[in-house]
Chain A
Amino acid sequence: MNLPRMAWRNVFRNARRSAVTISAMTVALAALLVLSGLIRGLYLGMERDLVELELGDVQVHAPGYRNRPSIYERLEAPDSIIAPLEAAGFRVSSRLRGSGLAAGAKESAGAQLIGLDPARDATVSDIGTKVAEGRWLEVSDARGVVIGRKLAKSLHVGVGDTLLLLSTAADGSMANELYTVRGVLGPVGDGLDRSAVFLVQQTLRELLELPEGVHQLIVRRPPTVPLLDAKAAVVAAAPGQDVNTWKELMPTVAQLLQSTEGSMMLMFLVVYLAVGIVVLNAMLMAVFERIREFGVLKAVGVKPRTVVALVFLEGAAQTAIAVGLGLLLAVPALLYLSTTGIDVGSMSAASLGGATFSQHWVAVLDRQTFTGPIGALAFVVSVAIGYPALKAARLDPLEAIHHR
C-alpha cells in the first residue's frame, strides 16, 4: 500500500461527492481551455497580421523620418544595409513612401503611396496575398496599382478603373500621373484600408523624381533569432539609422498583446474561485468524516507531512481525472475551432489600437493554450486543499481517536 493508491481509493469512498467536485473542475477547465485557445488565437492572429502584413519584425528609417515623414529623409545606400542582413539569413524589402491625393472620376482622398518590389516584398510581407478583388502588383505592369478597400469605396473605383495620383516631386514640382487599379485589398489594418496605394517601386520613383534611396526597410528575422537580437543585428548593419522593432512601432498593441497572458490568468483564477470553494468544501467534509481514522494513523506513527501529502494526493487524483475529462471535452472543440474557426467577417471592421482582427478567427492549440488553464486549476485546487490538509495534519491523535 502506498500513498497514491490510498489517495486514489479515498476518492471513490464518497463517490457522489467526488463526482460533484470533479464535474465542477471539468466543466470549468473545459470552458477555459476552449476560451484560452480562442483568445490566444485572436491575439496571436493580431500579432501575426501586424508583423506579416504591415510592420515586419524590424524597420529601418532615416533618423527623423518617423517623426516627420518627408520624401527627403531617405536611406541613401539601402543595399549596404540589406546585403549583410541577407547574408545572415534575414529577409529585407525596401519601400519608397510618399503622400498625396488619389482621385477617381468624382471623388478624391488623401493617400499614402507605397512603392515596393513585388518579388522582394513577398519575402517579408503577406500583403500581396490579401488582394480581395483583382490581382497584386506586377513589375511588368508599371502603371498598375493596388489600393486599400476603404479608399476604393470612398473613391468609387474598382479593378480596371483609372486612378489619378497627385503629389509633390522631389524638386518641388507638381507630380501627377494616371494609373490603373489592378487590385483592391481585403481588410489589412485600418490605416492601410483607408489610404494605401501600392505601386511598383520604380513607378513611384519616377512620379516623385527620386533617383535613389528608400524611406523604409522592412526586415524579417530568421525564425530562431529573438526579436531583440534581430534588432541588434539590424542596428549593426545600419549604423546611425532609426531602427525599431514592431513592438516599438506599435507600443499600445504590443503592450496589449503582452498583457494577455496576465489578464487571461486573472480570468482563470476568477472562474476557478467557484471551483475552489467546491473543492474546499468537499475536502473539509472528507477530512471531518475521517478524523478518527487520521487519529489512528497519526497514533501509529504517520507524520503530519504524510497526512498533508495524503490529502493533497486525493485532491491531485480528482484534479487529474478532471484534467483528463476536461481535455476529452475541450480538445475536439479546439480542433474544430483551430481548423474551421469562426467566421467573423462581420466583425472584421473592428480594430484594436490600429490592428485588425483577422477575418477568420481560429483557435490556437499550442502548449500555452493548455498550460494556462491547467496550471491555474492546479494552483487553485492546491490553495483550496491547503486548509483541510493542514487541519488533518495538525489533529492531535488522542483527541482525534476519541472524536465522535
Chain B
Amino acid sequence: MSDSAQPIVSLRDVTRTYAQGKTEVLALRGVSLEIFPGELTVLSGPSGSGKTTALNLIGALDRPTSGSVRVDGHELATLSRGELSELRRDRIGFVFQAYNLVPILTAYENAEVVMALQGIDAKARRARVMGLLAQVGLEGLEDRRPDEMSGGQQQRVAIARALAAKPAIVLADEPTANVDSETAEALLNLMEQLNRELKVTFLFSTHDPRVMARARRLIRMVDGRIVEDKVQG
C-alpha cells in the first residue's frame, strides 16, 4: 500500500463498552487501524474478541464509546442519523452472516435494491446488476427467490447487492460461517477475484483458520485489542 493514499477507514483509540446488567463489557479496548483502497483485509480472532463490534462501528451502524471512526473522509461522530444512513447506502456494502435477503424479492431485485434507493434508473440498474450477478456466478438464477437458492448462492446475491452501489468498502461479518467449507472456499475465491479484478476493498471477519491462512492482510484480535496486523505472502 502506498502511504500517500488516503485511508478509506481509519480508527483511532476506539473503545466500545456494553452495559450488561451491572457490569460493563469492554468489547473494544482501544483499537486503531487504517484500511486503504484496494485492500482485502481479514479480521480474525476468537469468538467474543470484538470483530463484529469493530465492523459495526466501521459500518456506521453503531457509535464508539470513545475514540474516532472515519470512513471515506467523514468523522462519523459528526454525522446525523440520516447522513449515516446515506453513507451506508452510498459508500458501504454489507454482507451479513445470514438472512441478508428480502424473501419476497428475486435474486435480481435483492441485488438492485440499493441502486433503486439511490434513484438510479431501471435501465442502468439492469445493466449493472445483470453483470454483477454473472460475475458472482449466478447467471440464469436472477429470478430465483431466496428460498429457492442455497446458502452459498444467497451469500453471492448479498455480495452482488453490496457491490451494486459501487461502495468504497465492502464489510462482511463472518460471511462464510453459515456455509459448508467447499462453499466457503468458493466465496473466498470470489471475493479475492472481485478484489483483484474490480479493485473492490474488502474487510471481512472470520474465526476460521483456513480462511485466515489465505488472507493477504490479517488483523488478529484478542479481548478487544489488535494483537497482530500483518501482510502475508
Residues of A at under 8 Å CB distance from B?
Answer: 1-2, 6, 9-10, 13, 292-293, 296-303, 306, 397-398, 401
Contact = CB atoms under 8 A, between A and B. Distances in A.
Nearest to A297: B102
A9 B104 contact: yes
B174 interface: no
Contact of A300 (B62, B82, B161): B161
A401 B96 CA distance: 9
A297 B102 CA distance: 8
B89 interface: yes
Given A6-B105, A13-B104, A306-B117, A300 B99 contact: no
Interface residues of B, number: 26
Interface string B82-97: 1001101110001010
A337 B105 CA distance: 46
Contacts of A401: 96, 99
Contact of B59 (A1, A296, A299, A306): A299
Nearest to B87: A301
Interface stretch (B107-115, B184-192, B209-217, B223-231): B107-115
A296 B99 contact: yes
Given A6-B105, A9-B104, A296-B99, A302 B61 contact: no
A298 B81 CA distance: 11
B100 interface: yes
B103 interface: yes
A398 B104 contact: no
B42 to A, nearest CB: 21
Contacts of B82: 303
Interface string B63-89: 000000000000000000010011011
B114 to A, nearest CB: 5
Interface in B44-60: 56, 59
A397 B61 contact: yes
Contacts of A303: 82, 85
Contacts of A2: 116
A80 to B, nearest CB: 71
A398 B61 contact: yes
Contacts of A300: 88-89, 94, 113-114, 117, 161
A78 B109 CA distance: 79
A354 to B, nearest CB: 61
Contacts of B101: 296
B47 to A, nearest CB: 15
Contacts of B102: 6, 293, 296-297
B103 A299 contact: no
Nearest to B164: A300
Contacts of A397: 61
B117 A302 contact: yes
B160 to A, nearest CB: 12
Given A6-B105, A13-B104, A398-B56, A301 B88 contact: yes
